Amino acid sequence: MELVYRVLWTDSQDDLFQAVEHAFQDWTGDVAHEVITVGDEESRIKEFRIKAQSGNRTTLRVVSQKNDQIVWVDVENENHNSDLSGLEHPRELVTSLLKTSENSGGTPKRGKSEFHMLLPRPTDTNILHFVEEIFNSARPISIICIAQDPLHETRKTIEMARAIAEGYAGVSQVLFLDQGGLARFQNLVGSNYSLEPGELRIFPPADPEFRTVLAAPPIPASDMRKAKYELINRRVLRTIQPYILAQPLPDLCQNALRLLRGFNDPLDREKSDRKNADFENLLAENQKLRYNFRDVSADLEHAIEEIENLQEQLSKKDIQRREAEEWWIQRADALEASQAESEMKRLEMEKRAISFALNESIQNFRDEETESITSVSEALTKGKQLLDHVEIAERISTRLDDLDNNQRAKTWGRDIWKAFLAFEAYARSGYAGNFYQWCSSGNDFSWFSQSTALKESDTVHNDERLYAQRVLPVTTDVDPRGKVFMESHLKFRGSMAPRLYFFDDTKGKTQKVHIGGIDPHSRWENTTT
Return the CATH number of the domain spanning residue range 113-232+324-364: 3.40.30
Which position has the higher pLDDT, 125 or 301? 125
> Domain ranges in the chain?
2-104+248-286, 113-232+324-364, 373-523
Query: Which DSSP symbol is given to 374?
Result: -
- pLDDT tens digits along 254-273: 888 888 877 544 445 555 55
Which position has the higher pLDDT, 379 or 324? 379
User: What pLDDT, on the 0 to 100 scale, is given for residue 36?
Assistant: 87
How far is it, in rounded angstroms, from Cα 379 to Cα 118?
46
- The torsion defined by the Cα of 5, 9, 15 and 19, in degrees rounded to 10, comes to -30
Query: Which DSSP symbol is given to 206?
Result: P
Phi, psi of 485 (to 5 degrees): -75, 125
Query: Which of the four pLDDT bands, split at 50, 70 and 90, describes residue 242?
Result: confident
β-strand pairing of 512-520 with 390-392: parallel
pLDDT > 90? residue 525? no
User: What pLDDT, on the 0 to 100 scale, is given for residue 261?
Assistant: 74
Domain 2-104+248-286 belongs in CATH node 3.30.160.110 = yes
Sequential DSSP letters for 245-279 = HHSPPPHHHHHHHHHHHH---TT-HHHHHHHHHHH
Over residues 439-467, mean pLDDT? 88
User: What pLDDT, on the 0 to 100 scale, is given for residue 295?
Assistant: 54
Query: Which DSSP symbol is given to 427?
Result: H
118 close to 165: Cβ distance less than 8 angstroms: yes
Percentage of the chain modeled with pLDDT above 70: 77
pLDDT, mean over the chain: 81
* Residues sharing a CB contact under 8 Å with residue 138, sequence separation 6 or more, in sequence order: 111, 112, 206
pLDDT > 90? residue 197? yes
Which position has the higher pLDDT, 355 or 319? 319
Query: Which of the four pLDDT bands, split at 50, 70 and 90, describes residue 499?
Result: very high
User: What pLDDT, on the 0 to 100 scale, is given for residue 335?
Assistant: 60
How far is it, in rounded angstroms, from Cα 243 to Cα 490?
41
167 close to 84: Cβ distance less than 8 angstroms: no
Phi, psi of 339 (to 5 degrees): -120, 150
User: What pLDDT, on the 0 to 100 scale, is given for residue 167?
Assistant: 87
Over residues 307-335, mean pLDDT? 66
User: What pLDDT, on the 0 to 100 scale, is given for residue 416?
Assistant: 92
Closest CA to 133 of 185, 68, 187, 72: 185
Over residues 190-216, mean pLDDT? 84
408 close to 417: Cβ distance less than 8 angstroms: no
With helix as H, strand as E and coil as C, how does 164-204 read? HHHHCECCEEEEEECHHHHHHHHHHHCHHHCCCCCCEEEEC
Kindly tell me the sign of the dihedral angle through the C-alpha atoms of 37, 38, 42, 48. negative
User: What pLDDT, on the 0 to 100 scale, is given for residue 479?
Assistant: 95
How far is it, in rounded angstroms, from Cα 160 to Cα 137?
28
Over residues 347-362, mean pLDDT? 44
CA distances from 331 to 141, 244, 299, 337, 364 (A): 20, 19, 11, 10, 21
Which position has the higher pLDDT, 274 or 481? 481
Over residues 81-96, mean pLDDT? 76
Helix runs in 42-153, H state only: 88-103, 124-134
User: What pLDDT, on the 0 to 100 scale, is given for residue 354?
Assistant: 31
Domains 2-104+248-286 and 113-232+324-364 share a fold: no
How far is it, in rounded angstroms, from Cα 72 to Cα 3?
13
Which position has the higher pLDDT, 370 or 390? 390
